[in-house]
């Protein structure tokens, strides 16, 4: 099954990103394909290279970047939501890219399922 994921919440203020990450890993382990993860609203904060959690905490941005690289997942950050939060191309962690809402619509059309995490 081809799965698209939408994340609407930031990495350390809400469980949505952790849940989405664990869901994506489990889906891949079961043989499904996660074609795209779209970060929207505060979810765009999952993409910034400026995140520096304490050493004993999980690094959610790096988790997404590594998962995207290992499984050829398109990690798309909403341009409007990113700019509202001061995130530009030069602030993105490796593997993420900025694009528009058309990518979210395309994901909904092309994926067999679009799973949303966060409000």
pLDDT, tens digit, 9 for 90 and up, residues 19-42: 999 999 999 999 999 999 999 999
Mean pLDDT, rounded, for 99-110? 97
Taking Cα atoms as reference points, which of 95, 99, 42 lies closest to residue 73? 95
Could you give the strand order of the β-sheet that contains 96-99, starting from the edge strand earlier in sequence? 96-99, 74-78, 33-39, 2-7, 113-117
Beta bridge partners of 117: 7
Residue 29: the pLDDT is 98
- Global pTM reads 0.96
Residue 11: the pLDDT is 94
Q: How confident is the model at residue 7 (pLDDT cuts 50, 70, 90)?
A: very high
Per domain, the residue ranges of the chain are 2-117
Mean pLDDT, rounded, for 48-77? 95
Q: Is 96 helix (H, G, I), strand (E, B) or coil?
A: strand
Q: How confident is the model at residue 12 (pLDDT cuts 50, 70, 90)?
A: very high
Residue 92: the pLDDT is 97
- CATH architecture for residues 2-117: 3-Layer(aba) Sandwich (3.40)
Give, as one character, the DSSP assignment of residue 35. Answer: E
Residue 54: the pLDDT is 92
How would you class 117 by CB atoms within 10 Å of its CB: exposed for 0-12, middle for 13-18, buried for 19 or more?
buried
Active site residues: 78
């Amino acid at each position: 099954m081809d799965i698209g994921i939408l994340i609407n919440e930031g990495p350390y203020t809400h469980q949505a990103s952790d849940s989405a990450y664990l869901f994506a890993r489990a889906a891949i382990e079961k043989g499904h394909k996660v074609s795209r993860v779209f970060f929207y609203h505060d979810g765009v904060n999952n993409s910034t290279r400026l995140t520096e959690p304490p050493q004993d905490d999980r690094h959610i941005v790096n988790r997404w970047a590594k998962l995207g690289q290992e499984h050829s997942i398109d990690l798309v950050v909403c341009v409007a939501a990113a700019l509202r939060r001061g995130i530009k191309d030069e602030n993105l962690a490796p593997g993420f890219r900025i694009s528009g809402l058309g990518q979210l619509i395309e994901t909904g059309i092309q994926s067999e399922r679009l799973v949303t995490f966060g409000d």
